[in-house]
């Protein structure tokens, strides 16, 4: 019996030695495979996290970045209102309304304001004679309105919102929106633009005082 056991061990000693020798290699291969699987899972998780962060950042910017919508509305042949709606959550401080004909580079109206406008609300005011200062008693064509405001300590200005207007003998026959602004509000960082804005505000304030 003992002899048979010795013979069996002698016959299978080489396979056992091979198995023992291959154990580290098998462990290395297994570890490598597991590492690759974990690395791919980590990359997928990182990509999903990046997409979630990007979506959250975009949503935050949409809700808290300043964005205003400007509308001119005909009330009767002699009365027009301007409505400024704050589409964001952040509150702003309206500083100036500008109104001009598209063909003119210089605005016909610069009206100084100091009106707070909380997020989601609308500020309305009557343009009165300012509308006819822009169009005259007889005019048909495009006019545009823009608003300058403060938000989070920075000054912004909307793009020009365009409207088609028809005025005959001092009466407004039509006033239709042409399109929304081509761009969102832009920050007035440039020194030249900021100086121009200050000049506009000062001149408008002097005109209002006169």
Residue partners of 49: CB distance under 8 A and separation at least 6: none
The mean predicted confidence, pLDDT, of the chain is 77
Q: In this predicted structure, what is the pLDDT of residue 28?
A: 78
Q: Does the pLDDT value for residue 16 go beyond 60?
A: no
CA–CA separation, 197 vs 202, rounded Å?
A: 9
Q: In this predicted structure, what is the pLDDT of residue 136?
A: 87
Domain limits of the chain?
Answer: 1-64, 66-209
Q: Which of 8-22, 95-109, 150-164, 172-186 has the highest mean pLDDT?
A: 150-164
Q: In this predicted structure, what is the pLDDT of residue 34?
A: 81
The predicted model gives 107-113 an average pLDDT of: 80
Burial of 70 (0-12, 13-18, 19+ CB in 10 A): buried
In this predicted model, which residue has the larger pLDDT, 202 or 76?
Answer: 76
As a three-state string, the secondary structure of the chain is CHHHHHHHHHHHHHHHHHHHHHHHHHHHHHHHHHHHHHHHHHHHHHHHHHHHHHHHHHHHHHHHCCCEEEEEEEEECCEEEEEEEECCCCCEEEEEEEEEECCCCCCCEEEEEEEEECCCCEEEEECCHHHHHHHCCCEEEEEEEEEEEEECCEEEECCCEEEEEEEECCEEEEEEEEECCCCCCEECCCHHHHHHHHHHHHHHHHHHHC
Residue range 159-201, pLDDT digits in tens: 889 999 999 988 999 999 886 655 556 666 554 444 555 445 4
CA–CA separation, 129 vs 25, rounded Å?
A: 90
Q: Does the pLDDT value for residue 101 go beyond 50?
A: yes
Q: In this predicted structure, what is the pLDDT of residue 129?
A: 84
- Least confident interval from 8-12, 59-63, 80-84, 112-116: 8-12
In this predicted model, which residue has the larger pLDDT, 130 or 53?
Answer: 130
Share of the chain above pLDDT 90, in %: 29
HSE-CB at 58 with a 13 A cutoff on CA atoms is 6
Residue 23 token pair: 């154990």
Reported as a pLDDT band with limits 50, 70 and 90, residue 21 is: low
Which residue's entry shows tokens 């823009």? Answer: 146
Fold of 66-209: Immunoglobulin-like (2.60.40)
Burial of 197 (0-12, 13-18, 19+ CB in 10 A): middle
The predicted model gives 3-26 an average pLDDT of: 60
pTM of the predicted model over 0.85? no
């Amino acid at each position: 019996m003992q002899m048979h056991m010795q013979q069996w061990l002698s016959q299978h000693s080489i396979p056992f030695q091979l198995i023992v020798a291959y154990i580290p290699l098998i462990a290395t291969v297994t570890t490598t495979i597991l590492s690759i699987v974990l690395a791919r899972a980590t990359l997928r998780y990182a990509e999903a996290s990046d997409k979630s962060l990007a979506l959250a950042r975009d949503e935050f910017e949409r809700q808290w970045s300043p964005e205003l919508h400007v509308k001119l509305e005909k009330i009767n042949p002699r009365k027009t209102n301007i409505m400024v709606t704050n589409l964001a959550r952040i509150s702003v401080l309206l500083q100036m309304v500008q109104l001009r004909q598209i063909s003119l580079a210089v605005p016909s109206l610069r009206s100084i304001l100091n009106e707070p406008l909380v997020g989601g609300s609308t500020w309305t005011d009557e343009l009165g004679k300012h509308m006819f200062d822009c169009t005259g008693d007889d005019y048909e064509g495009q006019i545009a309105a823009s608003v300058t405001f403060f938000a989070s300590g920075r000054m912004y200005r909307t793009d020009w919102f365009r409207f088609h207007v028809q005025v005959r003998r001092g009466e407004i026959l039509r006033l239709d929106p042409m399109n929304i602004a081509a761009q969102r509000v832009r920050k007035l960082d440039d020194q030249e633009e900021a100086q121009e804005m200050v000049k506009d505000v000062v001149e408008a304030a002097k005109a209002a005082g006169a």
